[in-house]
C-alpha cells in the first residue's frame, strides 16, 4: 500500500508543475498567437511582394517584340477606376507556321498589365525549365476588383499566385501557394 501512495505523490507534483507552467506562460507579443500547450508561435508570414515573382535576369519584353510572339490577353477594369486595363501573358517560345508553340526544355514567361496610355506594370518574369505558366482572371468574394491568378507548373513544382492590380506600380500578392511535387504521380487516362 505504501507503493501506491509513493506513485501518487510522484505523479501529482509533475502534473501540478505542468499546470503552473501553462498559467505562467509569457503573454504573446504583437504578431504572435498562443497555443495553450506550446506557448507563443509566430504568425504565418504575409504572402509577400510581387517583386519576388519578377526575376531581374529576365529582360522585360512586350507582346509581339521579336522572340515574344506567344501571347494571351484579357481586358478588364482591374483596379476599378472606370478604365479598362489589359493583362498580357507572353513567352519566348517559337511558333510554327500555323501559330502553334514549339515547346522546348524551358522558356521565359512574363505577365504585365498595360494601361490605355501604354504604361506597363510587370507582375511576373521568370524562366521555367520544363514548365508552363497559365493565367486566369478571378473574382474574389471580398472585393469588387478582379485579381489575376497565375498557375506555375513544372515536373518538380506547383505554384499558384493571386495578384491584385491597384494601379500603375501598385500590386499586391494576395495569395501565394507553392509546393514541391513528389516523384510518383497519377497514372491512367491522358490528362486533360
74: domain CATH number is: 2.40.128
Of the candidates 147, 150, 145, the residue with the CA atom closest to the CA atom of residue 137: 147
Residues facing 173 on adjacent strands? 163
**Same domain (yes/no): 134, 57:** yes
pLDDT (0 to 100) of residue 8? 37
- Residue 99 in any domain: the answer is yes
User: pLDDT at residue 108 above 70?
Assistant: yes
* Mean pLDDT of the chain, nearest integer: 81
Rounded to two decimals, the pTM is: 0.73
Say how far apart CA 192 and CA 180 lie, in whole Å: 21
Per the domain annotation, does 190 fall within a domain?
A: no
Q: Which residue has the higher pLDDT, 32 or 83?
A: 83
Report d(CA 91, CA 100) in Å as an integer: 13
Q: How far is CA 188 from CA 91, 145, 166, in A?
A: 30, 40, 43
Question: How far, in whole angstroms, is CA 91 from its chain's centroid?
Answer: 20
| CA dist., res. 52 & res. 90, Å (int) | 18
Q: What is the pLDDT of residue 37?
A: 53
Lowest mean pLDDT segment, chosen from 42-51, 104-113, 146-155, 166-175? 42-51
Residue 87: pLDDT over 70: yes
Whole-angstrom distance, CA of residue 147 vs CA of residue 43: 25
pLDDT band at 15 (very low <50, low <70, confident <90, very high): very low
Over residues 163-182, the mean pLDDT reads 93
Q: Are residues 75 and 103 in the same domain?
A: yes
Domain count, the chain: 2
**Are residues 17 and 57 located together in one domain of the fold?**
no
Mean pLDDT of 9-28: 40
Same domain, 21 and 66: no
Q: Within this chain, do residues 138 and 74 fall inside the same structural domain, yes or no?
A: yes
**Is the residue at 187 inside a domain?**
no
Domain that holds residue 98: 50-180
Q: Provide the H-helix boundaries in 24-138.
A: none
Q: Are residues 30 and 100 in the same domain?
A: no
In a domain? residue 188: no
More confident residue, 8 or 169: 169
Count of H helices and E strands in the chain? 1, 10
CA-based torsion, 151, 158, 124, 108: positive or negative = negative
**Which of residues 79 and 36 earns the better pLDDT score?**
79
Q: Strand ranges (DSSP E) for the chain?
A: 32-35, 39-42, 70-76, 85-91, 106-114, 120-129, 132-138, 147-153, 157-165, 171-180
Which of 51, 44, 45, 83 has the alpha carbon at shortest distance from 172?
A: 51
Is 185 within the bounds of a domain? Answer: no
* Res 36 pLDDT > 60: no
Rg (CA), the chain: 26
16 and 54 in a single domain? The answer is no
Going by the DSSP 8-state scheme, the letter that residue 189 receives in this structure is S
State whether 111 and 29 are in the same domain: no
Q: Same domain for 59 and 124? A: yes
Whether residue 112 sits in one domain with residue 22: no
- Residues 65-90 have a mean pLDDT of 96
Amino acid at each position: 500500500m505504501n507503493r501506491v501512495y509513493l506513485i501518487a505523490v510522484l505523479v501529482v507534483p509533475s502534473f501540478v508543475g505542468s499546470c503552473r507552467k501553462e498559467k505562467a506562460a509569457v503573454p504573446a507579443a504583437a504578431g504572435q498567437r498562443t497555443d495553450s500547450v506550446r506557448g507563443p508561435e509566430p504568425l504565418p508570414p504575409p504572402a509577400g511582394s510581387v517583386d519576388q515573382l519578377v526575376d531581374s535576369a529576365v529582360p522585360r519584353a512586350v507582346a509581339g517584340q521579336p522572340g515574344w510572339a506567344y501571347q494571351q490577353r484579357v481586358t478588364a477594369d482591374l483596379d476599378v477606376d472606370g478604365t479598362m486595363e489589359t493583362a498580357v501573358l507572353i513567352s519566348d517560345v517559337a511558333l510554327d507556321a500555323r501559330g502553334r508553340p514549339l515547346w522546348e526544355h524551358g522558356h521565359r514567361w512574363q505577365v504585365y498589365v498595360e494601361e490605355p496610355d501604354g504604361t506597363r506594370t510587370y507582375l511576373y518574369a521568370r524562366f521555367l525549365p520544363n514548365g508552363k505558366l497559365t493565367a486566369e482572371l478571378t473574382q474574389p468574394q471580398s472585393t469588387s476588383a478582379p485579381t489575376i491568378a497565375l498557375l506555375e507548373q513544372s515536373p518538380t513544382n506547383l505554384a499558384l499566385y493571386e495578384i491584385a492590380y491597384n494601379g500603375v506600380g501598385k500590386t499586391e500578392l494576395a495569395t501565394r501557394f507553392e509546393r514541391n511535387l513528389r516523384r510518383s504521380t497519377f497514372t491512367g487516362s491522358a490528362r486533360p
